[in-house]
Structure 1
């Protein structure tokens, strides 16, 4: 089985709002809750850990109140915080499969998560990066944060718990659900347009 780690410790400075990004509501529900719901609905996920930091104290409180497993990291950055958690929690289990996902993917579904894990099981590499074709961003008026050639990393990854650099396979999925991550107030407007255009509902 797979441990899912929800990355929710970033500063979210690009949002330009005081509210912590994981708690910004989409469809009346905090973004992070949409992600958690999708993970809970996947039978391939054994447990869920939310990583927060001093940058997101209200998210930490939210997770505790809701009864979720939460781990406080130093807040030094995405990779640094993930490595910190792995070193503290998996020192004797270097082959544990970990799925990491950012808290700003409100459209993610259990079906997509299951599909990704099935593809990972077929792969011969220890890590997998799930990427979205750049053309999907262009088509829907979305602004990617990072572009790697003709794809954009989605914020969903799989790796082993050994804290070492791992050979990874890039799985390209043309899913709008993976393209819409919320990094600015403008992204929320685009999200509403996308929902309207493709008939997705939150």
Structure 2
């Protein structure tokens, strides 16, 4: 049963999602490519697919970078088919995040959720909250209609830098919003019109696994 922000099943606007699976994970170390590193006994990319399946997402386009051939192979050999949401795997260009994002967005041809594969604690409710902010302000997804009823604005979901640091997560990029330093989470909605910044304080979107300390933190929180 798909969860909503309130934890109850309900109707919600629906969007496709672009899942970005690039990155060699050189800062993380180890032998496995970053999307395939396990948290809570499952590869991070599979956990993100689980979250998308629990959200108001119609289908997923996974863009796999040529820099992560094992991830691309794992998606095509089973992870995509095993996902509880229709998932198509596309080849990225290898030219970076923006180029791979363009590959994914061109395949969905319209507004979409976008998310990076290094958010292993992501929950369906986080995705639904981002969609809700994109289509109807801060209304919970269960209280708004179809995303096709009106314009879908772009949303950048952020976490306060102080929240991430208190949690023990690394901070790679940040900017100031309403007088507070915030860090992008890698969860966004790409829609029409100006971008809106939404700030949340949730462990589930605060840990991007980029370094060994992030991986240790994610595994500890996943097991708690």
* Mapped pair 1:121 → 2:127: no
Residues 125 and 114 of structure 1, relative CA distance in 2, 3 Å threshold: closer
Find the partner of 1:57 among 69, 73, 77: 69
Q: Please name the residue that 1:154 is paired with.
A: 185
Unmatched 5+ stretches in structure 1: none
1:12-54 alpha-carbon deviations (Å, 9 max, x no partner): 2211222110000011100011100011111x21001111021
Q: Could you tell me whether the CA contact under 8 Å between 2:28 and 2:210 is conserved in 1?
A: yes
* Mapped pair 1:184 → 2:211: yes
Aligned-pair distance for 1:189? 1.8
CA distance in 1, matches of 2:189, 2:118: 17
Aligned-pair distance for 1:11? 2.4
CA distance in 2, matches of 1:191, 1:144: 14
CA distance in 1, matches of 2:126, 2:29: 30
Q: Could you tell me whether the CA contact under 8 Å between 1:24 and 1:30 is conserved in 2?
A: yes
Aligned CA-pair RMSD? 1.9
Aligned-pair distance for 1:115? 1.6
TM-score (norm 1): 0.85
* Mapped pair 1:71 → 2:90: yes
Unmatched 5+ stretches in structure 2: 1-13, 82-86, 138-150
